[in-house]
Chains A and B, each alone.
Chain A
Amino acid sequence: QPVAMNAFELISLSKGLNLGNLFDA
């Protein structure tokens, strides 16, 4: 089945890229 999601959309879900977590220090 063809997949609609862009690879970079998927990558941007990585927790390591979610710097908002820094603010829960």
Chain B
Amino acid sequence: NCCDADLYKQPRGLEDPEALARETVFSVSEIEALYELFKKISSAVIDDGLINKEEFQLALFKTNKKESLFADRVFDLFDTKHNGILDFEEFACALSIFHPNSPIDDKIEFSFQLYDLKQQGFIERQEVKQMVVATLTESGMNLSDDVIESIIDKTFEEADTKHDGKIDKEEWRNLVLRHPSLLKNMTLQYLKDITTTFPSFVFHSQVDD
């Protein structure tokens, strides 16, 4: 029950790395190294030990001008306390799902929620189209509406096995198990090397890992 909103009333910095290590797949050293990254991102605009949406976008795109449907969606999913900012606990718990050692079911669940834009418990055709169009716009690619529609037709032919015009969690699971590449962006190899990427954590380390 990582990141249970009621579990911790106060946002935690790095007061208890061992507790966070128990709640996530990270070791204590990795939590401490991850905190170095968190400090960097959270001090980019306002140095308050919290990541706001602007800082999140800045870290993702290196510019705060970029409007992104997906950056917004990812931020909202990270923000499990739904207060518009990310504390270190939320950041670590969410990134834990992206760790190569995290259970695939957690990755499937997170990706489903990511694509279920309206949070209705299923992914509908209109949402898929919105996301396809957003991706194409973002990358400056131009596909005709007919081509986009045919891509979506094909996808639903395969994914929507119950033929009700939407993709529910079970159908999503079956689809990604057939196409593991759809979960590729749910695994960050960087997280395996986080202690070597941010070696300065050793200067602040509170424990012998």
Contacts and interface: CB of A to CB of B under 8 A. Distances in A.
Interface of A: 2-25
Interface in B74-127: 74, 95, 98, 114-115
Interface of B: 37, 40-41, 44, 59-62, 68-74, 95, 98, 114-115, 128, 131-132, 134-136, 138-139, 147, 150-152, 154-155, 158, 175, 179, 181-182, 184-185, 188-190, 197
A15 B68 contact: yes
Shortest beta-carbon contacts, A-B, top 4: A16-B70, A16-B68, A7-B155, A16-B71
Given A14-B135, A14-B139, A19-B60, 15 more contacts: A3-B151, A6-B154, A7-B155, A10-B135, A10-B151, A12-B181, A13-B135, A15-B139, A16-B74, A17-B114, A19-B95, A20-B190, A22-B60, A23-B37, A25-B40
Interface of A, secondary structure class, is: helix
A18 B37 CA distance: 16
A15 B60 contact: yes
B135 A22 contact: no
